């Protein structure tokens, strides 16, 4: 079974530009989560999408946005890039496990965004 995939692996942008990151969840998973891991910092929750809707977002400005497509893949868009947006962006997916609703999340390899 294929895991969570993300593209591109690396992305280099200039301040003020926009970045688009993509994520394909594990087949059958309907929820997609985005996390940011800046250098030397922990993982910070960004966004959660389920069934095409944004369900929750972390403490990030509105220039961080995204969407989920009918096939459950997802895009993360970061507008007006700032130097501090340089980080590893991780996507995870989860499945409703039915009886025991624990929703463990499975992570992709990440996209490393560098803003110069």
Partner 1 sequence: DAKTTQPPSMDCAEGRAANLPCNHSTISGNEYVYWYRQIHSQGPQYIIHGLKNNETNEMASLIITEDRKSSTLILPHATLRDTAVYYCIVRVGDTGRRALTFGSGTRLQVQP
Rounded to whole angstroms, how far apart are CA atoms 4 and 51? 17
If one asks whether residue 4 binds partner 1 (CB under 8 A), the answer comes out as yes
Alpha-helix runs per DSSP H in 38-107: none
Q: Which is nearer to partner 1, 65 or 107 (CB)?
A: 107
Among 11, 13, 58, 75, binds partner 1 (CB under 8 A): 58
Q: Judged by CB under 8 A, which stretch of 12-20, 63-71, 76-84, 97-105 contacts partner 1?
A: 97-105
Q: How far is the CB of 28 from partner 1 (least distance, A)?
A: 16
> What is the phi/psi pair of residue 72, to 5°?
75, 0
> What is the phi/psi pair of residue 111, to 5°?
-120, 125
Q: How far is the CB of 16 from partner 1 (least distance, A)?
A: 27
- Distance from CA of residue 116 to its chain's centroid? 21
Within positions 76 to 95, which residues make up the interface with partner 1, using CB under 8 A? Answer: 88, 90, 92, 94
């Amino acid at each position: 079974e294929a895991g969570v995939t993300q593209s591109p692996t690396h992305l280099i942008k200039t301040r003020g530009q926009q970045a688009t990151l993509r994520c394909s969840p594990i087949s059958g998973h309907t929820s997609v989560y985005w996390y940011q891991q800046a250098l030397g910092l922990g993982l910070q929750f960004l966004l959660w999408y389920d069934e095409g809707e944004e369900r929750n977002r972390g403490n990030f400005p509105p220039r961080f946005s995204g969407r989920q497509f009918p096939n459950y893949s997802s895009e993360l868009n970061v507008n007006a890039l700032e130097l501090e947006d340089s980080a590893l962006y991780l996507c995870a997916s989860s499945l409703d496990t039915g009886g025991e609703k624990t929703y463990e999340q499975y992570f992709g390899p990440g996209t490393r965004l560098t803003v110069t």
